[in-house]
Amino acid sequence: MTSFAGQFRSEVSRLAKREVKSEVQTLKSASAQHRADIAALKRRVAALESQLKKLSKAGANQTVPDEQPAGEKTLRFRMDGFISLRKKLGLTAAQMGSLIGVSAQSVYHWEAGKSKPRASQLPAIATLRKMRRAQIVKMLEVEALSHSMR
């Protein structure tokens, strides 16, 4: 038996479900948009943290220049210039390292850009730039003789 009260209750229930469904749909779409925005922000934060890590590593590898007295020339190191100097002189990395007072591995790292020479090593490199090939060959011969006499 269908009474007015039963029909009224079912109609109110149907209308309420329809209203709730439209409200829930609006909330679902807003929630989906918020999740997408949060994901984009997380990706951006991760990219910025990665960039910060790279910059801090690059900053850690750079040496802070000491204050130079007035009139003294500042020595700089360029990877390309160092590579061309070694090739121009026809030296191996081991020979170049022994002239400067470092290992061949250090020379390889300088040429690959993985590291830079210390400030105390820059004058030795600058001295080599001013020397001729014959002078350098003579230095290597003297060094080889001193090692063989040990």
Q: What percent of the chain has pLDDT over 90?
A: 42
* Arithmetic mean of pLDDT, 121-148: 85
pLDDT attached to residue 137: 86
Give the tokens for residue 68. 């130079």
Domain boundaries, the chain: 9-60, 79-149
Residue 39 has pLDDT above 80, yes or no: yes
Let me know: does 77 contact 109? Beta carbons within 8 Å: no
Question: Which of 50-54, 61-65, 143-147 has the lowest average pLDDT?
Answer: 61-65
Checking if the pLDDT of 149 tops 80, the result is no
pLDDT surpasses 70 at 115: yes
Whether domain 79-149 has CATH 3.30.1120.130: the reply is no
Residue 76: the pLDDT is: 85
- What sections of the chain are H helices per DSSP? 4-61, 79-89, 93-100, 104-112, 122-130, 133-149
Contact 87, 131 (CB under 8 A): no
Q: Six-digit token pair at 66? A: 């000491």
Q: Which pTM does this prediction carry?
A: 0.49
Q: What single-letter DSSP state applies at residue 66?
A: P
